[in-house]
Amino acid sequence: MRIPIERDGERSLWQQIEMHLRQSILTGNLAPGTRLPASRELAKDLNISRTTVENAYATLEADGLVMRHVGRGTYVLDPGTRIPPLGGRSQEGWPRWQQDLLPTARHLAHETIASSARRHPAPIALTGFGDPRRFPVKDFYRAIKEVMDRDGTAALDLGDLRGYAPLRATTAHILASQGLSVSPDSVLITSGSQQALALVIQILLSRGDTVLVESPTYDLALEFFRIYGLKVVSCPTDAWGMQVESLESVLQQQQPKLIYTMPNFQNPTGVSLSLARRHELLALSERYNIPILEDDFVGDLRYEGSAFPALKALDSNGQVIHMGTFSKMLMPGLRVGFLIADGPMYNRLVELKRVSDLATSSLIQRSLEAYITVGRYQAHLRRSCQVYRRRRDAMLNALDRSLPGARVIPPHGGLFMWVTLPEAISSRALLPFAIAEGVDYAPGGRFFTDRAEGEGYLRLNFATQTPENIEEGVRRLGTAIQHYRLLK
Ligand SMILES: Cc1ncc(COP(=O)(O)O)c(C=O)c1O
């Protein structure tokens, strides 16, 4: 095997070998199942020590890109279905019930990308959600302290199953300020909106049922649907969100049990559903008796234009279940989200929440409520909108300069920019080049049911980095494209 190495290069020898093999695996030049040369053989070929090769192989194995069988050699794994590290055991070393799980025990692609990105001396991740440097650490610390002093043991008890009553009232109050009038009794506090999604799915759908989503859509919703054994049908999107006009025949033929949609600043495209389409979607949902799960994960992060009413606000017939979160506006580690639902659905949700995790942390709910009530939340939100707007503009300018030929629909809010790559560039194959340059992004494939559909796209997060880093990150992306074109 010929691996180009520079003996006095910037990176150590094992890193160069590891990077070369990683790129070959991720670009498909080394196909799954390929046997890599034995470490002794490769060391001799390259005139280096065997330990150097062993280090490179061990790192690839830790990232799930190769599997090593003692006595049989090192094999390339399918990067799409990476098997997690096996704790030093060969596949056959596990009990049979564990072996049955191996084909479905995937690595999350994101974890692998992040861990690779860390290897660049100063990587810039255009991934993730909000900017951790903007977390209101001191104010939240004060809020926790206040709550502990004020509530004592009550703050550490389980509390109301539906969520801390004042926080439910405050949530209703925030929603009212966005034109959505709900009673605190319709609010259920959840452990992040990811739990809200899981609860709704488990109540309304069974294995084999069909859920309708936008295409592309939130990757971890797709992952959840896959793990839960659902059939996913999708409706294409354009600059005004889901193409609702083409939906009726799909509803008739596929009979989904639920429509999952993000009407505001959708993940990953950043587009919002037009008002006319909101009305039409509701009408279809009523006509075919299909509930809608409205995921408003960043509705408050608006940088221009005025908001359309939430689907829930237009819904006079009770078709819509609404979910939201404090993760994106504040801090994802709080794990506080909420559902708005009524009637039997609300009762079923509470029941399932109880058996799922008993309750969302009372201390965190109380602290969040204290933090919001003194007005710190609104101030933080206003400031975040100013900061993120500047970052969005910086990214649009940087894309113009460094990625000629790429197309993007400028988002009016949220966190993401959806980039259509120039010509026939595959975002999956480009990723190792980008990582080598020190920039990370989310390749488009993971947001589609058929990954191949997403090859020509990538998602950038403009909220996590400073304008200077955005400028540099996009410049690196441009360089990665140049290298990709030379080598492909
Ligand atoms: C569209 C969307 N919905 C829901 C979630 C879940 O967020 P959380 O559980 O932190 O509220 C995410 C997280 O990234 C998301 O992107």
> Which is higher by pLDDT, 105 or 230?
230
| Amino acid, single-letter form, for residue 430 | L
Report whether pLDDT(108) > 50.
no
Q: Are 68 and 35 in contact (CB under 8 A)?
A: no
Q: Among the atoms of ligand 1, which is closest to the Cα of residue 218?
A: 1
Percentage of the chain with pLDDT > 90? 73
Task: Please work out whether the CB of residue 295 comes within 6 Å of at least one atom of ligand 1.
Answer: yes
The total of other beta-carbon atoms located within 10 Å of residue 135's CB is 16
Percentage of the chain with pLDDT > 70? 93
pLDDT tens-place string over residues 172-231: 999 998 899 999 999 999 999 999 999 999 999 999 999 999 999 999 999 999 999 999
Report the nearest-CA residue for atom 13 of ligand 1: 194
Output the DSSP codes for 455-472: TTEEEEESSSS-HHHHHH
Q: Are 213 and 450 in contact (CB under 8 A)?
A: no
Mean pLDDT across 119-148: 91
Q: Among the atoms of ligand 1, which is closest to the Cα of residue 262?
A: 1
Task: Please work out whether the CB of residue 394 comes within 6 Å of at least one atom of ligand 1.
Answer: no
CA of 270 to the centre of ligand 1 (A): 14
CA of 87 to the centre of ligand 1 (A): 30
* Antiparallel, parallel or unpaired: β 73-76 and 187-190: unpaired
CA of 194 to the centre of ligand 1 (A): 6
Q: Are 68 and 14 in contact (CB under 8 A)?
A: no
CA of 59 to the centre of ligand 1 (A): 30
Give the integer Cα–Cα distance in Å for 262 and 242.
9
Largest interatomic CA distance in the chain: 74
Q: Which two tokens stand for residue 472?
A: 């540099």
pLDDT tens-place string over residues 26-40: 777 787 778 899 999
Q: How confident is the model at residue 121 (pLDDT cuts 50, 70, 90)?
A: confident
Pocket test for ligand 1, best of 129, 191, 193 (most atoms within 8 A of CB): 193
The total of other beta-carbon atoms located within 10 Å of residue 321's CB is 26
Range with the lowest mean pLDDT among 307-321, 346-360, 473-487?
473-487
Looking at the chain, how many residues does it have? Answer: 488
Closest CA to 269 of 412, 381, 126: 412
* Antiparallel, parallel or unpaired: β 258-261 and 210-215: parallel
**148 CA to centre of own chain:** 33
Mean pLDDT across 335-342: 97
Q: CA of 20: how far to CAs of 14, 41, 83, 332, in Å?
A: 10, 17, 21, 35
Q: Among the atoms of ligand 1, which is closest to the Cα of residue 337?
A: 11
Q: How confident is the model at residue 157 (pLDDT cuts 50, 70, 90)?
A: very high
What DSSP character marks residue 130? S
Task: Please work out whether the CB of residue 74 comes within 6 Å of at least one atom of ligand 1.
Answer: no
CA of 82 to the centre of ligand 1 (A): 24
Note the pLDDT of residue 109: 43
Give the integer Cα–Cα distance in Å for 358 and 355.
6
Q: CA of 384: how far to CAs of 103, 302, 462, in Å?
A: 43, 10, 12
Give the integer Cα–Cα distance in Å for 168 and 365.
9
CA of 10 to the centre of ligand 1 (A): 39
Report the nearest-CA residue for atom 3 of ligand 1: 297
The total of other beta-carbon atoms located within 10 Å of residue 335's CB is 19
Task: Please work out whether the CB of residue 261 comes within 6 Å of at least one atom of ligand 1.
Answer: no
Report the nearest-CA residue for atom 2 of ligand 1: 297
Report whether pLDDT(115) > 70.
no
Q: How confident is the model at residue 113 (pLDDT cuts 50, 70, 90)?
A: very low
Who's near 379: CB < 8 A, 6+ residues apart?
none
Q: Are 83 and 66 in contact (CB under 8 A)?
A: no
Report whether pLDDT(95) > 90.
no
Report the nearest-CA residue for atom 14 of ligand 1: 129
Task: Please work out whether the CB of residue 327 comes within 6 Å of at least one atom of ligand 1.
Answer: yes
Closest CA to 312 of 343, 278, 267: 278
